[in-house]
């Protein structure tokens, strides 16, 4: 296993991680920003006002992006398993 192959596997793993995290993080960021503006405008500083909508949006985002995320991680895992002979130098 060469250093280049280790770096290539690490790079692709990081890209998959970014793609998996992006839908949930971006949706939480968007609703958090909206709730923050709403709280600043109304001067209501209740913690659950921020937590509950974020939780609901994350559930919806996971329902929408979940199949794509599962396909992405499955494809990456299959590709990684199939490349094991090449990585260890046996194929």
* Tens-binned pLDDT, residue by residue, of the chain (91 aa): 788 888 999 999 999 999 999 999 999 999 999 999 998 898 888 878 888 999 999 999 999 999 999 999 999 999 999 998 888 876 5
Neighbouring CB atoms inside 10 A of 31's CB total: 19
* pLDDT at 50 (0 to 100): 83
* pLDDT at 87 (0 to 100): 84
* pLDDT at 68 (0 to 100): 97
* pLDDT at 88 (0 to 100): 85
The span from the CA of 41 to the CA of 51, in Å, is: 18
* pLDDT at 47 (0 to 100): 78
Under 8 Å between Cβ of 16 and 72: yes
Neighbouring CB atoms inside 10 A of 69's CB total: 19
């Amino acid at each position: 296993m060469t250093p280049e192959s280790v770096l290539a596997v690490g790079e692709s793993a990081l890209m998959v991680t970014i793609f998996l995290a992006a839908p949930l993080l971006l949706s939480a960021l968007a609703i958090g920003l909206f709730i923050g503006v709403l709280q600043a405008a109304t001067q209501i500083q209740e913690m659950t006002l921020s937590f509950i909508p974020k939780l609901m949006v994350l559930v919806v985002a996971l329902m929408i992006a979940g199949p794509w995320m599962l396909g992405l991680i499955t494809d990456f895992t299959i590709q990684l398993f199939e490349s094991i002979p090449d990585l260890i130098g046996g194929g």
